[in-house]
Amino acid sequence: MEILKVQNVKKVYQSHKGAKVEALVDINFTVNKGEYIAIMGESGSGKSTLLNILASLDDVTRGEVLLEGVNYKQIQNDELAAFRRQHLGFVFQDFNLLDQFTLKDNIFLPLVLADHSVKEMNAKIKDLASILEIDHLLEKYPYEVSGGQQQRAAVARALITAPSLILADEPTGALDSRSAQELLNLFARFHQAGQTIIMVTHSVYAASKASRVLFIKDGKINSEIHKRDKNEDITQQIFDMQSAAIVQRSRSL
Ligand code: ADP
Ligand code: MG
């Protein structure tokens, strides 16, 4: 079942001096429910721009984005925040937890904003905190726990609303290798349970855990790798695709 459709998306930024930057030229892809997608590409290729557009945080210059059949263009500005809260979960490289809140209050934040009762919230956090192994840390503040633990709290915050789609921008980028491995194991586990995930990453290892890898180059999707079965090791294919892109670029210099 198709959950996300991205059609002919173009994004042009206008700089202060009036110069135009074509961050996305023409992006087309669809995502089925339950897919785990990695997006790779060199710095400046348009990955964050694409993720911000999927997050409905930035609008397109041309083209359409539909999540569960809802066209972003048809959502009124004053309904966007609620739409995001209901349908999307975000995980960032630098966790983005609020320092003045405990982990528990950080995780509850999207539910508080959506007017859930305390009873409901406590019921929802229990299993999630246990899976993420942060149940003993819920009363602590972000600065009192490790980066890996902060990121797991951020994952809990993203998942607590049961979003249609998780968007993650370099989620392992600021983690040590062990915490990164743990985070990827958790993503794999949520993916197994049916969660749809789109993750931007520079890490070949992280991308190799996804079910599909999209390569973005100069604002277009240049190629993709689809796992034939969930145990297939696509590490070498990802390396080859990256090397091909580097060779291509050096020829054009
Ligand atoms: P990536 O995340 O792949 O490194 P970005 O999506 O951040 O790439 O950027 C793609 C291109 O768009 C780059 O050339 C970048 O300089 C430009 N760009 C991104 N955001 C803006 C902005 N707000 N204003 C002007 N140009 C931008
Ligand atoms: Mg980026």
CATH code: domain of residue 223 = 3.40.50.300
- HSE-CB for 128 with a 13 A CA cutoff: 21
183-186: Cβ within 8 A, 24+ apart = 183/148, 183/151, 183/152, 183/155, 184/209, 186/131, 186/132, 186/152, 186/155
The residue nearest atom 15 of ligand 1, judged by CA position, is 44
Query: How many domains, in total, are found in the chain?
Result: 1
**253 confidence band (pLDDT: 50, 70, 90):** low
Q: Which pair of structure tokens corresponds to residue 212?
A: 């599909």
Residue 10 lies in a domain: no
Environment of ion ligand 2 (residues, CB < 5 A): 47-48
For residue 50, the ligand 1 atom closest to its alpha carbon is 6
Q: Given the CA of residue 41, which atom of ligand 1 is nearest to it?
A: 3
Q: Is 143 inside a domain boundary?
A: yes
Which ligand 1 atom is at minimum distance from the Cα of 169? 2
- Which of ligand 1's atoms lies nearest the C-alpha of 45? 3
The range of the structural domain enclosing residue 110 comes to 36-46+78-252
Give a yes or no: residue 4 inside a domain.
no
Q: What is the pLDDT of residues 212-229, one digit of tens each?
A: 999 999 899 999 999 999
Q: Does residue 22 lie within any of the structural domains?
A: no
pLDDT at 207 over 90: yes
45: CA distance to ligand 2 center in Å? 8
Total Cβ atoms within 10 A of residue 57: 13
**Looking at the whole model, is its pTM more than 0.75?**
yes
Residue type, 252: S
| Structure token digits, residue 123 | 């019921």
Distance from the alpha carbon of residue 186 to the mean position of ligand 2, in angstroms = 23
d(CA 171, CA 219): 22
Q: Which ligand is nearest to the CA of 53?
A: 1
pLDDT digits (tens, 9 = 90+) for 20-70: 999 999 999 999 999 999 999 999 999 999 999 999 999 999 999 999 999
Report if residue 72 sits inside a domain.
no
Domain membership of residue 13 (yes or no) is no
Pocket of ligand 1 (CB under 6 A): 13, 15, 21, 23, 41, 43-49
Which protein residue has the closest C-alpha to ligand 1 atom 1? 44
Q: Assess if residue 194 is contained within a domain.
A: yes
Judge whether 24 lies within some domain.
no
Q: Which protein residue's CA is at the shortest distance from atom 16 of ligand 1?
A: 44
**Counting beta carbons within 10 angstroms of the beta carbon of residue 198, is it exposed (0 to 12), middle (13 to 18) or buried (19 or more)?**
buried
